[in-house]
Structure 1
Amino acid sequence: MNSNSNSQSGFTLIELMIVIALIGILASIAAVSYQTQVRQTHVMTIYQEMNFFRLPYQTLINEGAGVTGFSPSGLNMPDQTKYCQFAVTTAAKSGITTNAVTCTIQNLAYVQGETLSLDHAADGTWQCRASTGISKKYLPQACQ
């Protein structure tokens, strides 16, 4: 058996270029999704850090603490963490205490200087609020 045709197997250059392009597209989609997940985790961490203030804040209200008690140190809480600079507002006698606990975000370039706040109502409920510079896609459900 003698064959005059040369049989070659493998991929053409076009096929390889298409595969590489598809891999590039998938990698860019994965990178964007990963970045969004990381940012959501950062903001969720901030929200969880703020929630640690709820119990000591309510305890001070129940004990009738004076104006000087309403500060991070008065609540035996840190003034700042890796991502937050905290501020605490004295509880209003009646109604809602706006910005009862506020975190001014630091060390996160995409939300630097933005705030996440907890408002305290007279009935003991809490409401989370975010400044307009924080994209809703990064916020926990309780803050949207």
Structure 2
Amino acid sequence: MQKQQGFTLIELMIVVAIIGILAAIAIPQYQNYVARSQMAEAVSLTDGLKNDVIEYYSTNGSCPTNGDGSIGSANNYNGQYVASVSTGGTAPACTITATMKSSGVSSGIASDTLTLTMNDNSSGTDAAGGGSTSWSCGSTAQAKYLPSSCTHSG
């Protein structure tokens, strides 16, 4: 007689249950990671316009809209996940707003916006009050999808 070797049915069921539990935890975390990486494109596109907005504001004392100065139309600034990036606001709170696409992105951030708002922190004599500015970040997306540098306002 030969002794049979291998796993029992109970042992195999325990392994399958453990794998199922790990998958139930990992899949939502991966989906959040994907959404955060897609939102990073919006951060990159808005960051690229900061200098143009500051330059326009310091020269003219008003916030630029798309098409003013060196800023192109909103549709000129897009990407794989970002539909458009627009500029505007009322001095001294100029804004840069990236709008995510409504399809082809994670469902948690579809059609959401990421807005950078310029804050004039100085009190000089030129049009922009001396040129010292900072930026705050807000979004209509849930905080879990935003980069750590963003504060959730929306």
Listed as ranges, the gaps of 5+ residues in structure 1 are none
Report which stretch shifted further, 70-79 or 101-110: 70-79
Structure 2 counterpart of 1:135, from 120, 124, 142 = 142
Identity of aligned residues (%): 27
Are 1:57 and 1:70, in contact at CA under 8 Å, matched by a contact in 2? Answer: no
Cα RMSD for the two superposed structures: 2.4
Cα 1:25–1:73 change in 2 (3 A) is farther
2:100 pairs with one of 95, 101, 105:
105
Structure 1 or 2, whichever has the larger Rg, is: 1
Deviations 1:77-110 (A, max 9, x none): 5243331322211551xx433xx11112113232
Q: Which has the higher contact order (CA 8 A, sep 6+)?
A: 2
Equivalenced residue count is 133
Q: Which amino acid aligns with 2:40?
A: M
TM-score normalised to structure 1 length: 0.77
Q: Give the direction of change, closer, same or farther, for the CA distance of 1:29–1:59 in structure 2 (3 Å limit).
A: same
Query: Which of 118, 125, 131 is residue 134 of structure 2 equivalent to?
Result: 125
Say which of 33, 38, 42 aligns to 1:46. 42
Q: 1:72 to 1:103 in 2, by over 3 A?
A: farther
Given residue 93 of structure 2, which amino acid in structure 1 is its aligned partner?
Answer: I
Gap change, CA 1:53 and 1:74, over 3 Å in 2: same
The structure carrying a bigger helix percent of its residues is: 1
SS of corresponding position for 2:24: helix
